[in-house]
Amino acid sequence: MISPATLHRDLGLTDDELDAIKTRLGRDPSYTELAMFSVMWSEHCSYKSSRIHLRGLPSEAPYILVGPGEGAGIVELAPGVSVAWKIESHNHPSFVEPFNGAATGVGGIVRDILSMGARPIALMDPLRFGPLDDPRTAYLVEGVVHGISNYGNSIGVPTVGGEVVFEDCYAENPLVNVACLGLVENRLMHGRAEGEGNAVILIGSSTGRDGIGGASVLASAEFDDASSEKRPSVQVGDPFTERLLIEACLELARSGLLVGFQDLGAGGISCPTSEMAAKAGTGMQLDISKVHLREADMEPFEIMISESQERMLAVVDPANVEAVLAICRKWELQANVVGEVTKTGRVEVIHENGVLADVPADALAEEGPVYNRGLERPAWLDELQGAPMGAEPPSDLEAAFLQLLGSPAIGSKRWVWEQYDHMIFLGTVQGPGGDAAVIRLPGQDTAAVISVDGPGRYCYLDPYEGARLAVAEAARNVAAAGGRPLAITNCLNFGNPEKPDVMWQFAEVVRGIGDACRALGTPVTGGNVSFYNETNGRAIYPTPVIGMLGSLPDARRSVGLAFRSPGDVIAIVGDTDPADFGGSEYAKTVNGVVAGRPPRLDLSAESALHRFLIEGAARTSFSSAHDCAGGGIAIGLAESALAGGLGFQVAFEQDERHRFLFSESPSRAIVSFPAQGVEAVRKLADDYGVPLEIAGSVAPDRLDFGTFGVGFDVAQDVFEGAFRRALAASMS
Amino acid sequence: MTARVGVIVFPGSNCELDARVAFSALGAEVEMIWHAGTSLPEVDLVVLPGGFAHGDYLRTGALARFSPVMDRVRDHALRGGLVLGICNGFQILCEAGMLPGALRKNNGLKFLCRWVDLRVDNNDTAFTSRAEQGQVLRIPINHFEGNWYAEPAVVDRLRENNQIVLRYVDNPNGSVDDVAGICNESRNVFGLMPHPERACEQLLGSDDGIVLLGSLLDHVTDRAGVAG
């Protein structure tokens, strides 16, 4: 039973927030107004807990054309060549309804890119689930991957990479993040409602009851066991309409007929109406009887906050309305004039029966609450950091190696990415399965190099260090492919911000990202914060997912991770610290331990490694280059070998061999190159001050570590079969 | 002469730009043709590209065959003009009755995007003239419904007529007799599930697709006749 006095609480607003609304309006809000405030002031839309921390992030560089606050960041990769880059989360919807939750996550990020007037050209999907031996995980993996595949493939945007991570902490809170790269083909568009008297046009799908309260009910509250009842709050996607919307939006952008443009995502139509008016200092009158509805009997408040998918809002000079509607008709999309720009500074919602809402646009879009929430270092952290980190030697090195190679974390994710169209657009020079994706831009030599990374275990052990490691690894992935890291987008996945220890983790992660981004020269172009990733009081690891964007002037110079020729020399670049085991794959998989401190990172060594890798690629010195990370040197070598259909022969002199093989020291890479290139590569390493050790050479059919070795076929079967077998076992 | 290629764009098509890039790079003049048109510009080759025409609602290709332009595509074929259906285009040609059989869901009930090897089992067609008989081509597939099926009698007839032009070396989807691509009896309408337009550049993994697309252009420009 909903009582009018406490309705705001059911909508996710606190008593204090209701008081603030009353003060701002000088009266009680109407139902419709209350609904609009509930979505616009939700954590998801207003960033009320995160905003004061995010201000500390660097966001400027000469090549950053648009920074945080718009639909997507815009980065100039080469003179006159710009791309849009943005990451989003769709965590809560994907837990409640994996297929549609994941699908609409793809749709939403694509419309963010479209809102800038850019063509979406690549997607990446960082996914996190509970342990794979839990049948519930198998169900979620199947549903999420199918949802991404069905939506992404249909709209014709390649899914070129991502992550699939399994940890206990994500069992009740899977993370479904999605990043999108867009090519700016036309002049940029902005979400601004300029020009009194201009028409406001709603384009795309009809508005239905799906997704009511997605931002406030799903994304801004914790879950409990009754959460499946929230399924009606999950939006339902229609990729066919999105496909039409993409071409229609690009044609509209090319036409120059639009004054302002924004997508409808979280918060429904309440969001672009208030944000576009607030940004332009104008107002907007919206006649919701003009909104094309899926169900005739929808309540006004439902229309205002419905999160039905595949919709965009355009501001158009009245003289151009017919031309805009004609383009929409050509693409078989519905489009209606639903309002006009005013100079009142207010969002007025009208209806045949009169005025339903009349509130200042600023109050909705820009004057949401800002909380400086309490921070407290978790009491358990000292004990965790002081505990043994799980570096004890294995009983058998070869068995430990195979155990890691066949773990769900490291084993091939081919089962996942073969379900994604990763080739459409003829730009995927390097796709899934490598360190970074290399996407040649249509009609150009220039490539965008993109990678996503989110080392949750490191962040759990030390949020500040973990965040720095996340940025460093994402940048290293880009550099290994030959790209110069330029900028990041970030998706910050956390627990309940009302809990001081979660908020402390958040603040530390943001501080770590900021420091690493400043040191590596990769500012933040924007991103997304997803709080309340808790179920029944149990929070996820603090999980910042970093989406790194880099540039490569000539896609033909990109370097892959695969070994290419028997006889090529293999070198390990960068120092290995035998103590870097905290949070490592080895510690977790072999010894069952997640404790201690994460690997130590020296950002100047990291930066030097990147310069070495980028210059080596530019000079075509390398046959292969591979980031050395999860599972250490042993797994890095195996991944390069298996990708190339080759083996290797290496020998290391170190004592405590496992410490050298499985340590996860950052700032390292494995490169291979023709034997005649040894001196040149050594000199390059010296020039950049990077330690380089020749480890051995590429060989035909055996992964030979000196003291032990396995046949190529055995390793391939373990690596390629691991994930499929684990999933099949879990579902049977 | 320059070959003129018309690429049909249905609402929901998504490989039309790739088809344009691939054929343009091979020297053809490419025109995009919207599905709602009731006339066809003068072209030598009509391409039905990959994608999800009309959302593939109901069944793949089931709605697209009713698009107005399809009557003109049929006329073009009846006049002996070349038609190529790639992936969703192949599905549409089957639904339209311009090629035999139907495409069912893959055996594994999963969408599959991967490189596969195709064997050219009939190089005496306009689509395969640049290939050696038995040549293996590396070309990617990208489909959920690529499992070609036809009645045994139909399959027998296709075999006898040498209409099974391309077969999978390692069948990824369960199609009957490993069929990857077929042609009609008159050998001017071709359909295949793999995407040759994605395999026209070594940098992207293979340029074997040029063998197929180039053969069609040869046929138009009569170069094939000279070489033969």
Task: Clarify whether residues A197 and A233 are in a common domain.
Answer: yes
Q: Kindly tell me the burial class for residue A359, based on how many C-beta atoms sit within 10 Å of its own C-beta (0-12, 13-18, 19 or more).
A: buried
Task: Clarify whether residues A720 and A633 are in a common domain.
Answer: yes
- The residues of B annotated as belonging to the active site are 87, 195, 197
Bigger pLDDT: A178 or A224? Answer: A178
* Average confidence score pLDDT of chain A: 94
Residue with tokens 């009957």: B176
Hey, what are A422's tokens? 């990763």
Hey, what are A709's tokens? 């070795």
- The answer, for B140 touching chain A at a CB cutoff of 8 Å, is yes
- Report yes or no on whether pTM surpasses 0.90: yes
User: With an 8 Å Cβ cutoff, are B111 and A419 in contact?
Assistant: yes
Residue B225 has pLDDT above 50, yes or no: no
Confidence of residue B168 (pLDDT cuts 50, 70, 90): very high
Segment A13-68, tens digit of pLDDT: 999 999 999 999 999 999 999 999 999 999 988 899 999 999 999 999 999 999 99
- The residues of A annotated as belonging to the active site are 44, 90
Q: Are A646 and A700 in contact (CB under 8 A)?
A: yes
Domain contains A417:
no
Q: Show which of A368, A383, A403 is a domain's final residue.
A: A368
Question: End-to-end CA distance of chain A, in Å?
Answer: 42
Domain contains A536:
no
Domain contains A708:
yes
User: With an 8 Å Cβ cutoff, are B12 and A243 in contact?
Assistant: yes
How far off is chain B from A200, nearest CA to CA, in Å? 26
User: With an 8 Å Cβ cutoff, are A418 and B113 in contact?
Assistant: yes
Domain contains A83:
no
Task: Clarify whether residues A315 and A340 are in a common domain.
Answer: yes
Segment A437-464, tens digit of pLDDT: 999 999 999 999 999 999 999 999 999 9
Task: Clarify whether residues A390 and A344 are in a common domain.
Answer: no
Tally the domains of chain A.
Answer: 2
CATH code: domain of residue A670: 3.90.650.10
User: With an 8 Å Cβ cutoff, are B113 and A426 in contact?
Assistant: no
Task: Clarify whether residues A218 and A315 are in a common domain.
Answer: yes
Please tell me the distance from the alpha carbon of residue A360 to that of residue A340, in angstroms, as a whole number: 15
pLDDT the model gives residue B67: 92
Q: Which of B20, B144, B203 to mutate to test the interface with A (most CBs of A within 10 A)?
A: B203
Please tell me the distance from the alpha carbon of residue A504 to that of residue A495, in angstroms, as a whole number: 11
- In b/e form, how buried is each residue of A153-165, taking b as 16+ CB within 10 angstroms? bbbbbbbbbbbbb
Confidence of residue A187 (pLDDT cuts 50, 70, 90): confident
- The answer, for B37 touching chain A at a CB cutoff of 8 Å, is no
Task: Clarify whether residues A299 and A401 are in a common domain.
Answer: no
Q: Which residues of A touch B112 (CB under 8 A)?
A: 418-419
Q: Which residues of A touch B17 (CB under 8 A)?
A: 425, 442
Identify the DSSP state of A598. P
B15: nearest CA partner in chain A: A424
Domain boundaries, position A646: 374-411+559-732
Find the mean pLDDT for residues A173-191: 94
**B45-48 β-sheet, strand order:** B29-34, B4-9, B45-48, B82-86, B189-192, B179-183, B164-168, B112-120, B136-143
pLDDT the model gives residue B224: 43
- The answer, for B172 touching chain A at a CB cutoff of 8 Å, is no
Domain contains A673:
yes
A560: nearest CA partner in chain B: B203
Q: Are A51 and A41 in contact (CB under 8 A)?
A: no
Identify the DSSP state of A504. H
User: With an 8 Å Cβ cutoff, are B111 and A153 in contact?
Assistant: yes
- Identify residues of A whose CB sits under 8 angstroms from chain B CBs: 149-150, 153-156, 238-240, 243-244, 331-332, 417-426, 428-429, 440, 442, 555-556
**A81-89 β-sheet, strand order:** A64-66, A73-78, A81-89, A175-184, A118-129, A159-166
How far off is chain B from A240, nearest CA to CA, in Å? 5
Q: Count interface pairs A-B at CB distance under 8 A.
A: 79
CA distances from A642 to A358, A478, A638, A669, B160 (A): 63, 20, 6, 17, 42
Confidence of residue A732 (pLDDT cuts 50, 70, 90): confident
pLDDT the model gives residue A223: 64
Q: Which of A238, A424, A426 sits opposite B14 (nearest CB)?
A: A424
Segment B31-67, tens digit of pLDDT: 999 999 889 999 999 999 999 999 888 888 889 999 9
Q: Which of A149, A419, A429 sits opposite B204 (nearest CB)?
A: A429
User: With an 8 Å Cβ cutoff, are B18 and A424 in contact?
Assistant: yes
Q: Show which of A301, A335, A368 is a domain's final residue.
A: A368
Domain contains A401:
yes
Domain contains A605:
yes
The answer for residues whose C-beta is within 8 angstroms of residue B51's C-beta and 6 or more apart is A156, A243, B10, B12, B13, B14, B15, B16, B87, B88
User: With an 8 Å Cβ cutoff, are B201 and A426 in contact?
Assistant: yes
Segment A520-561, tens digit of pLDDT: 999 999 999 999 999 888 899 999 999 999 999 999 999 999
Q: Which of B56, B200, B203 sits opposite A429 (nearest CB)?
A: B203
Element (DSSP H or E) covering residue A334: none
Task: Clarify whether residues A632 and A719 are in a common domain.
Answer: yes
Identify the CA nearest to A548 among candidates A440, A468, A475, A447: A475
User: With an 8 Å Cβ cutoff, are A418 and B15 in contact?
Assistant: no
Phi-psi region of B222 (alpha: psi -120 to 50; beta: other; left: phi over 0): left
Please tell me the distance from the alpha carbon of residue A676 to that of residue A697, in angstroms, as a whole number: 13
Task: Clarify whether residues A568 and A665 are in a common domain.
Answer: yes
**Protein fold of B4-102+110-227:** Rossmann fold (3.40.50)
Task: Clarify whether residues A203 and A305 are in a common domain.
Answer: yes
Q: What is the ipTM of this complex?
A: 0.96
Please tell me the distance from the alpha carbon of residue A265 to that of residue A110, in angstroms, as a whole number: 11
Domain spans, chain B: 4-102+110-227
Segment B99-150, tens digit of pLDDT: 999 999 999 999 999 999 999 999 999 999 999 999 999 999 999 999 999 9
- The answer, for B54 touching chain A at a CB cutoff of 8 Å, is yes
Segment B72-92, tens digit of pLDDT: 999 999 999 999 999 999 999
